């Protein structure tokens, strides 16, 4: 799978006079990228810039040749997003219909939609949830359904915003295994440092800037040191 580079060019994001991100310059080419940092450091904003959910106040973000400012809709076909709270991400009352929702937005024909829903559920071993009402799912099941709804759209990049925060240990490990299996690029914002052990690259965000960028073990050591300071 060819992965388009993601470029941040002098990106500043300002919310109500406050610089949430300041002059970020980055190119992401790796398949497994982690983003860590304290609460309010700008991690979630950085992740939301990738598919145009947040637009830069200054500078630009590019996925391949596409600028998020002008091509957000096109980029969202290729960059999926799994949110921290899956309950608010599941739109439809039934699981199978929720997974089909994104495909409908891509105007995929009904027969193909049904096939993809079936395949994706089977891929994640959650076929038994297909006819369940969304509000009856447990937290772990909801997170798997949220992932399925993104995977069904077959993006090449998936951004996860603190995906394991609301999960117990068992579900967290199961979700971690699913992320590890993905053929897609995974960009994971997390406080769960264990997830990042096998990653290719980890960014440490501090006060709206990239304070460290490197291999997981070094980045985690840097973050621990910063946290104790």
Instruction: Please report, as ranges, the residues that interact with another protein according to CB under 8 A.
Output: 48, 51, 53, 73, 76-77, 80-81, 83, 85, 87-94, 97, 100-102, 105-106, 130-131, 133-135, 149-150, 153
Measured CA to CA, the distance from residue 201 to residue 6 in angstroms comes to 14
Q: How many residues does the structure list for the chain?
A: 229
Mention every residue, 6+ apart, whose C-beta is less than 8 A from residue 17: none
| CB of 96 vs another protein, minimal distance in Å | 8
CB-CB neighbours of 186 under 10 Å: 23
Cβ nearer to another protein, comparing 137 with 204: 137
Cβ nearer to another protein, comparing 35 with 153: 153
Cβ nearer to another protein, comparing 87 with 211: 87
| CB of 157 vs another protein, minimal distance in Å | 12
| CB of 161 vs another protein, minimal distance in Å | 10
Measured CA to CA, the distance from residue 80 to residue 91 in angstroms comes to 15
Structural contact between residues 8 and 50, judged by C-beta atoms closer than 8 angstroms: no
| CB of 165 vs another protein, minimal distance in Å | 14
The closest of 8, 1, 6 to 209, measured between CA atoms, is 8
């Amino acid at each position: 799978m060819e992965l388009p580079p993601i470029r941040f060019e002098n990106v500043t994001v300002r919310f109500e006079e406050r610089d949430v991100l300041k002059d970020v310059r980055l190119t992401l080419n790796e398949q497994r990228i982690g983003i860590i940092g304290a609460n309010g450091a700008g991690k979630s904003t950085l992740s939301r810039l990738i598919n145009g959910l947040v637009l830069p106040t200054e500078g630009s973000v590019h996925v391949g040749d596409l600028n998020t400012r002008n091509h957000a809709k096109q980029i969202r076909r290729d960059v999926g997003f799994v949110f921290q709270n899956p309950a608010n991400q599941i739109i439809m009352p039934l699981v199978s219909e929720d997974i089909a929702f994104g495909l409908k937005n891509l105007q995929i024909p009904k027969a193909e939609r049904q096939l993809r829903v079936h395949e994706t559920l089977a891929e994640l071993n959650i076929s038994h949830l297909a006819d369940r009402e969304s509000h009856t799912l447990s937290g772990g099941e909801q997170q798997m359904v949220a992932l399925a709804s993104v995977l069904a759209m077959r993006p090449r990049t998936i951004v996860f915003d603190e995906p394991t925060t609301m999960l117990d240990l068992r579900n967290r490990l199961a979700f971690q295994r699913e992320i590890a299996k993905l053929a897609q690029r995974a960009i994971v914002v997390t406080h769960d440092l264990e997830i990042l052990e096998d990653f290719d690259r980890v960014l440490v965000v501090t006060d709206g800037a990239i304070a460290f960028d490197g291999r997981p073990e070094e980045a985690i050591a840097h973050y621990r040191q910063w946290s104790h300071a």
